[in-house]
Structure 1
C-alpha cells in the first residue's frame, strides 16, 4: 500500500479532530496544540464510538461518551473505562497534503 492524501493541512483546526477513512480503516486525524499532526484509530476500544467526535487536550484525545482519553503518540488509554489501545498511524506532510498509509503503524 502507499500513503493516501486524507486532507489538506490547512483544513485541520488546532486542537480538534476529523474522521477519515483510508482503505476501509477509520482514523481520527488531529492537529495538536504544538502543531503536530497525529492519526489514531477512530473507534474507542471501550465502545463503538468515533474518537474524532471527542475532545483534544494536549497530546490526548478523549472519547465524548465515557471519558476515556487516548495518547495521540502511543494509542494507549490513559484512564478507564478503556483498557485496550487504539492503533497509531504514521503521518507524512508533503506541502499542504496530509498523507497516511493504514498499513504503516507509527513506531512508538
Structure 2
C-alpha cells in the first residue's frame, strides 16, 4: 500500500481532538483513531483503549498523548506506549501522512 488510504481531510480533525476510522475502511482488527495534537501534528493509533472498550478518538489530545475518556489511561501519540494507568498494555501506532490537505493512513506500518 505505497500510497496509503485517504481517510480524511486535515480540516476534519480539529486540533486536540480525534476522528475514528472504521476497520472496514482500514482493513485492520480495530478501528483507527486519527488524532491531531495542539501543534497540528497528526497521529494514528488503534482506537480501542487497551484497558476498557472506550474510543481513544473521543479522548483528549495534548502534550504528546491521548487520554482515554473512560478511565484516563494515557498513550503516547508517537508510538502507542502507555503513559498513564490504569492501562498497562501499549496500543498500536500506525504511520500517517498529510499531503495536500488530506490525511493518508498506512495501516500496520510503524510511524
Write the mapping of 1:32-71 to structure 2, written as runs, cut at 5 A: 32-71=37-76
**Given the alignment of the two structures, is residue 98 of structure 1 paired with residue 103 of structure 2, yes or no?**
yes
Deviation readout 1:33-91 (Å, 9 max, x if unpaired): 11110011101000111111111122111111111011101211111110111111111
Q: Which residue of 2 aligns with 1:28?
A: 33
- In 2, the alpha carbon distance for the partners of 1:42 and 1:15 equals 15
Deviation at 1:7, TM superposition (A): 0.1
Name the structure where strand makes up a greater proportion of residues: 1
**Given the alignment of the two structures, is residue 80 of structure 1 paired with residue 80 of structure 2, yes or no?**
no
Give me the CA root mean square deviation: 1.2
Q: After the TM superposition, which segments of 4 or more aligned residues of structure 1 sit over 6 Å from their partners?
A: none
Indicate if the aligned counterparts of 1:15 and 1:58 stay in contact, CA closer than 8 A. no
Of 18-27 and 84-93, more deviation after overlay is shown by: 18-27
Indicate if the aligned counterparts of 2:95 and 2:108 stay in contact, CA closer than 8 A. no
Indicate if the aligned counterparts of 2:59 and 2:67 stay in contact, CA closer than 8 A. yes
TM-score (norm 1): 0.91
Indicate if the aligned counterparts of 2:96 and 2:103 stay in contact, CA closer than 8 A. yes
Count of residue correspondences? 106
Give 5+ residue unaligned stretches, structure 2: none
Q: Which residue of 2 aligns with 1:12?
A: 13
Give 5+ residue unaligned stretches, structure 1: none
TM-score (norm 2): 0.88
